[in-house]
Amino acid sequence: MADEGDWIRVASRADIKPDVVLASLLGDDSIVLTEFEGRVYAISDTCTHEFALLSGGFLDGHEIECPLHQARFDVCTGRCLEGPATQDLEAFEVKIEGDDVYVRKQK
């Protein structure tokens, strides 16, 4: 598991595109990377309802839908927008340096 405060390179900026969900790893944590309105966002890949990976779900603007029971989350904040999930996803800080995308846990 990544320590708080550690920036970890998780992807190339060129690989992150609008309407595409890119799965990556932050240490041992599975995350998804998305682009919305020119900004890159990183949230946990694991649905807070039961075990399903959101990287297998459907992206609609800034909302991602879980492939298992269709809970919806905001990819920008991790906020749960629609059940059956009730808990928000963890959202991570993102920084871009050249073509490198770094993510770290929020402090």
Tokens linked to 80: 């749960």
String marking each residue 18-47 x if it binds ligand FES according to CB under 6 A: -----------------------------x
82 makes contact with ligand FES (CB under 6 A): no
Kindly determine how many residues on this chain lie close enough to bind ligand FES according to the rule CB under 6 A.
10
Taking contact as CB under 6 A, which single stretch among the options 27-35, 37-45, 65-73, 88-96 is the one that binds ligand FES? Answer: 65-73
